Structure 1
Amino acid sequence: MDTSTLLALDSAHVWHPYGPMPGTVEPLVVESARGMRLTLADGRELIDGMSSWWAAIHGYGHPALDAALREQADKMSHVMFGGLTHEPAVRLASTLAEITPDGLEHVFLCDSGSVSVEVAIKMCLQFWRSLGRDGKRKLLTWRGGYHGDTFHPMSVCDPEGGMHSLWRGVLPEQLFVPAPPSGFDRPAEPEYVRTLTEAIERHAGELAAVIVEPVVQGAGGMRFHNPAYLRLLREVCDANDVLLVFDEIATGFGRSGELFAAEHAGVTPDVLCLGKALTGGYMTMAAALCTPRVADGISRGELPVLA
């Protein structure tokens, strides 16, 4: 297909994310990708500094990943997980349980980072409902955060400004506190510690969980914070019977200097969201991991399955 025809069809039919329909900016046409470089239809080469929205952690066309993809496709491309299982999924889940922070033993596989956050929220809400504490329905998070663009994840994205303000009054109303002061090595500020602690204590009776991006708020401006705030969250959540969720969809698998950003603080969340680098950008897949406490709580409910 020649480039002009391709662009005309793109304009007529392809609705690009975060853009109008039809688009107002002509997209670059990519013909191939290798390593960190994209080759365009006009022959130019570009460095993909975005790593395909942080997913292509090993680059494009990695020989080992290409070979694994072909080998698996020759055996089985896909089979439903209802009542069935298979070795690649079992090996992946057991490996994730082994390499993630201690205590995250149960893995729910899903199809995108946003869905991973959806699953995490459902886990937390269903956990409390199963224990007869249905009033714990709210989530608390930091301003400036980003957790995805499906329904419930949008509710824990900052509603002030940006595209999510469109959904004010439609989405569930969650609780927001200021993001931590910027600076990985900046000492924890006592005033902010009090603000965060008091917010959780004040709303503990209605809080199902706190959800944050640990160490760095990615889409919110690459804002790094002291890992001490993560330890504080763990302590305050434990003291007030609130679950803690870490969204490591962007930071997982070495992006922050540790394999997982939670390791900078030495804490384990109750639920961990993974995606993006999980597949190196080769396919869409994500995961929500939880502790035995969360899984056991859900299993005690009237409907003892993850609904």
Structure 2
Amino acid sequence: MTADLSQLEFDQQHLWHPYTNVAKPGPTFVVKESEGVHITLDDGTRLIDAMSSWWCMMHGHRNPAITQAIHDQLDTLPHVMFGGLTHDPAIDLGRKLLEITPESLSRIFYCDSGSVSVEVAMKMAVQYQHAIGQPGRKEFATIRSGYHGDTWKAMSVCDPDTGMHHLFQGALSVQHFVSRPPIRIHEDWVDDPAQNGLGELRAVLEANADRIAAFILEPVVQGTGGMYFYHPEYLNQARALCDELGI
């Protein structure tokens, strides 16, 4: 009977954790409390949450200001659908976001995770191309060693060889990959397309311009790819190249 199992035994037999082999799961630890940078296990062991619980707790666990805001919101409006409805917190957040983003970014779509935001962005790119009379542009170009999420379309633009999703090859959409730009942020820029990676990028984009809707890469730094910081000139010229080709 599952009721006779301890909490950890029930977890091990019935709960499937992310990135875990369900047949041979690794160890799992029961957390009883969290505060600040620390999480406390059920045996009293206190650990530093060095990865901020997958980067969602960058202000610390049980941050007093955030905790109070959550309590206050629960007393008035815990949740309501955003389709055809709106509310002050959403509008106020939008105002704050526009204060810190470039003027060219004037529209906001709220998502509940990074993977979903990538899915939405890719859908928007295809929808945009269709709206301007380019319905054939449904594919994507990207850089090797990148990571963009674990949902279906996002997986297709993650690195197909060294990434965690190589088992799904053959099921995912086939995209266009170029080498990671060879010049890093701290190195001197070489204005030679054959040496700075832009030659390969141009060749791929030009050869498939009638099929590529967008070029996607992580802004500034490849995190999962080894904290690889892009040279800003590569980003600037890649943006200009995409503008030139309507991508």
Structure 1 and Structure 2 fold alike (TM over 0.5)? yes
Q: CA deviation at 1:152?
A: 0.5
For 1:198, the equivalent position in structure 2 comes to 203
Give 3-state SS (helix, strand or coil) of 2:108's partner. Answer: strand
Deviation string, structure 1 residues 195-252 (Cα, Å, up to 9, x no partner): 223322332221110110012111222222212211111111111111xxxxxxxxxx
Q: CA deviation at 1:97?
A: 2.4
Aligned-residue identity in percent:
46
Gaps of 5+ in 1: 243-307
Deviation string, structure 1 residues 106-155 (Cα, Å, up to 9, x no partner): 11112221111111011000111122211111111111111111110011
Question: Partner letter of residue 241 of structure 2?
Answer: V
Which contiguous aligned blocks of 4+ residues in structure 1 show a shift greater than 4 angstroms? none
**Partners of 2:230 and 2:30 in 1: how far apart?**
37
Match of 1:216 among 193, 204, 221: 221
- Answer whether contact 2:143 2:179 (CA < 8 A) is retained: yes
- Answer whether contact 1:216 1:222 (CA < 8 A) is retained: yes
For 2:36, the equivalent position in structure 1 comes to 35
Gaps of 5+ in 2: none
- Answer whether contact 2:34 2:61 (CA < 8 A) is retained: yes
Q: CA deviation at 1:182?
A: 6.0
Instruction: Identify the structure with bigger relative contact order (alpha carbons < 8 Å, sequence gap 6+).
Output: 1
Give 3-state SS (helix, strand or coil) of 2:109's partner. Answer: strand
Bigger radius of gyration: 2
**Partners of 1:188 and 1:17 in 2: how far apart?**
40
- Answer whether contact 2:145 2:163 (CA < 8 A) is retained: no
Q: CA deviation at 1:44?
A: 1.3
Deviation string, structure 1 residues 49-86 (Cα, Å, up to 9, x no partner): 11112221111111111111111111111001122111
* RMSD over equivalenced CA pairs, Å: 1.6
For 1:15, the equivalent position in structure 2 comes to 16
**Partners of 2:162 and 2:217 in 1: how far apart?**
19
Question: Partner letter of residue 227 of structure 2?
Answer: M
For 2:138, the equivalent position in structure 1 comes to 137
Q: Which TM-score applies when normalising by structure 1?
A: 0.74
For 1:291, the equivalent position in structure 2 comes to none
Q: Which TM-score applies when normalising by structure 2?
A: 0.91
- Answer whether contact 2:145 2:162 (CA < 8 A) is retained: no
**Partners of 2:216 and 2:52 in 1: how far apart?**
25
Question: Partner letter of residue 68 of structure 2?
Answer: A
Question: Partner letter of residue 143 of structure 2?
Answer: W
**Partners of 2:226 and 2:208 in 1: how far apart?**
28
**Partners of 2:6 and 2:34 in 1: how far apart?**
21
